[in-house]
Structure 1
Amino acid sequence: MTTDGSKVIAEFLALFAQRDASKLAPYFHPDIVFQNYGDGEVRGRDNLVDVWAGVFRNFEQVDFTTLHSAVNGDLVIEEQVHGLALPGRKLASIKNMAIYRLRDGRIVEWRDYSNSAYARTLL
């Protein structure tokens, strides 16, 4: 696994299409803090893996695409489209801003900003 910020995040996001939370775990620092605004904060690698395992159980398709990326040292900021599809439903494209901070080549902070009310209407 590389420690270059943009490459770490690109490798990480490519895994979402596989819908296997255990494959995300190596990218999470043990002390990771995840904040998806509108939801409660999630602390710790195991807890975050559990969150994504639940997402993958609920959604038939999960795909993250980066539109733009800015990197400054250990900070990666990305404009993304999160593609989510519930079973039997078409893919909903949800615009998102993600902020990642890396430590030792792993994500230690992750904040997602999206319009959750709009996302619900798409899903």
Structure 2
Amino acid sequence: MAQSNDSLVREFVQAFNTKDADRLASYLHPDVVFHAYGDEQVRGRDAVLQVWRGVFGTFAEVQFTTVHQAVDGDVVIAEQVHGLGLPGRPVAPVMNMAIYEIRDGKIAAWRDYTNPQHATRLISG
């Protein structure tokens, strides 16, 4: 039986806490398009994983949690807290809204909406 889209995204978000980009790969469609608000789109699983390798290398702490999540067929909307802590700094709770589009049981489109200026202020303390 195929994994539900709700479970797929919840498990994907929890996988970030390992700070291991390779753990994210199995959730992503090979042709995934990732777009973080304010940044250029990233196309393809390998390119997305490279982005997250950089993020995981920058932050000493990564603690992602789902606050609320709604599913409508192959679209999942998730309110999340991205806890990010630079080395020697406390973890900053960055609120995020993510939209996921699922195709063939994998995340094929992923859009993150965060206020980047506010996130930078929180992270840098």
TM-score (norm 2): 0.95
1:25 matched to which residue of 2? 25
Between 1:61-70 and 1:30-39, the stretch displaced more is 61-70
SS of the aligned residue for 2:93 comes to strand
CA displacement, residues 78-109 of structure 1 (integer Å, 9 cap, x when unaligned): 11111000011000001110000001110000
Identical aligned residues as a percent? 54
Amino acid at match of 1:108: A
Separation in structure 2 between the aligned mates of residue 2 and residue 89 of structure 1, nearest angstrom: 41
- Please identify runs of 4+ aligned residues in structure 1 that moved more than 2 A: none
- Report the alpha carbon displacement of residue 10 of structure 1 after superposing the two structures with TM: 0.9
1:55 matched to which residue of 2? 55
- Does residue 11 (structure 1) correspond to residue 11 (structure 2)? The answer is yes
Between 1:2-11 and 1:98-107, the stretch displaced more is 2-11
> Is contact 1:3–1:104 with CA below 8 Å preserved after alignment?
no
TM-score (norm 1): 0.97
1:89 matched to which residue of 2? 89
Q: How many residue pairs were aligned?
A: 123
Where do 5+ consecutive residues of structure 1 fail to align?
Answer: none
SS of the aligned residue for 1:118 comes to helix
1:110 matched to which residue of 2? 110
Separation in structure 2 between the aligned mates of residue 109 and residue 52 of structure 1, nearest angstrom: 16
Separation in structure 2 between the aligned mates of residue 80 and residue 2 of structure 1, nearest angstrom: 24
SS of the aligned residue for 1:24 comes to helix
CA displacement, residues 21-50 of structure 1 (integer Å, 9 cap, x when unaligned): 011011110010000011111000000000
Separation in structure 1 between the aligned mates of residue 92 and residue 100 of structure 2, nearest angstrom: 23
Where do 5+ consecutive residues of structure 2 fail to align?
Answer: none
Amino acid at match of 2:11: E
